[in-house]
Structure 1
Amino acid sequence: MDSEPNPTILDGSIRKDRRSQEMLYRQFHGYGMSISLRYTSTREEAVEVLNDGFVKVFDNLQQFDREKPFKSWFRRILINTAINHTKKYGKFKNETDLEHLTELTENGSNVLDDLSYQDTIKLIQSLSPAYRTIFNLYVIEGYSHDEIAETLQISVGASKSGLSRARENLRNLIKKNHEEEVGQLNKQ
């Protein structure tokens, strides 16, 4: 599957042709869900964010600069939609970096090596909405603390603190999961 939509699909979607919109939706559904899941607590919430994001895409597609990658534009819309979703439902209060999580090692092996993508997403989803959003923006999207502060309308200190707490929460969750797995193995 191409990473960029067919120009005919884009043209049809701009004209509000349902078939073209459906084709665009199907082509980018998986990619969009992977982004939405990182910013939400449940699959249902992720679907809501994804669908809201697609509504924005369809409403604003005529503004898309075809000289630039569609995926990047779509990603930005989904991230903003997820942030707005979190703010709308009062889940963000002004109050881990995966590379830093490698500090958790057992017998010289990285505990993260044993986590599947789904396990990693579940751990990130278990963070509070504020920590999860800051974590995603900093670690995965590559935002600076200044950019996060501006985007979320919080202080730079709150961004740094939120990231630190997100990392610590993830470390604790990984450690707890690892200890539970070792306990289960010892019982066998």
Structure 2
Amino acid sequence: MNWSDQELIDGCKRRSAKSEELFFKKYYGYVMGISLSYAKDRDLAQEIVNDSFLKFFGSIESLTDHQAVKPWLRRITVNTAIDWYRKNKKYSQQQEINEQNEVFHEVHAISDMAYEDLVKLLHQLPEDHYLVFSLYEVEGYSHREIGEKMGITESSSRVYLARAKTRLRELVEMHLKEYAGR
């Protein structure tokens, strides 16, 4: 039987294990895709997926519009990735940075690259820079929102983005030189 989102959500609200399983299977790829865009490896992405579904099922009572399930699931997944970063940032070296020293340039060569190549280059960025880049450029968060979510200053968010773009430009240039040399 092919269940509609409304039927699955109603079943999940009743804590039906079958409905939860079917919902998980239906949206696993979607949530994993989002998770992989924030995690540097598949194991971490799987943790984010699992935590995201747990949060989703734990808060499903507040979902009133079954048509809003994908945006809601996306927000939960992005916030779960940010939570993971915040929880683990104490292990990475944090430093306050001076916004005035940073200048960034547009990367024009990216449009010539394959998606997979670009993702590999993005994953070479420092984790905090990568997260700010994704939140700003992909998700559309403001620097103020990013600062609040990540527990950093707004100016740090701006600098992390500038540094991410600068480093990404360098990585793209190196990649294109390697590609041209083949």
Q: Same fold (TM over 0.5)?
A: yes
| Residue pair 2:48, 2:81 contacting (<8 A) in 1 also | yes
CA 18–117 in structure 1, closer or farther in 2 if over 3 Å, else same: farther
Aligned partners of 1:121, 1:135: CA distance in 2, in Å?
A: 12
Deviates more, 1:86-95 or 1:27-36: 86-95
Displacement of 1:94 in angstroms is 5.3
Match of 1:145 in 2: 143
Deviations 1:127-184 (A, max 9, x none): 1110011101110111111111122121111011000001011111111111111122
AA aligned opposite 1:73: W
Residue 22 of structure 1 corresponds to which residue in structure 2?
A: 21
Please show how residues 7-156 of structure 1 align to structure 2 within 5 Å: 7-66=6-65, 69-90=68-89, 93=94, 95=96, 100-102=106-108, 111-156=109-154
Which has the larger displacement, 80-89 or 59-68? 59-68
Q: 1:159 to 1:36 in 2, by over 3 A?
A: same
Alpha-carbon distance between aligned partners in 2 of 1:124 and 1:168, rounded to the nearest angstrom: 12
**TM-score normalised by L of structure 2:** 0.85
Structure 1 residue runs of 4 or more that deviate by more than 6 Å after TM superposition = none
CA distance in structure 2 between the aligned counterparts of 1:150 and 1:89, rounded to whole angstroms: 16
Residues 50-89 of structure 1, C-alpha deviation per residue, up to 9 Å, x if partnerless? 1110111011111113166111111111111001111222
**Between Structure 1 and Structure 2, how many residues are aligned?**
170
Residue aligned with 1:100, SS: coil
Q: For each residue in 1:89-147, what CA deviation from the matched residue of structure 2 results, as whole angstroms up to 9, or x when unmatched?
A: 2366355xxx9322xxxxxxxx3233222222222222111001110111011111111
Q: Which runs of no fewer than 5 residues in structure 1 stay unpaired? A: 103-110
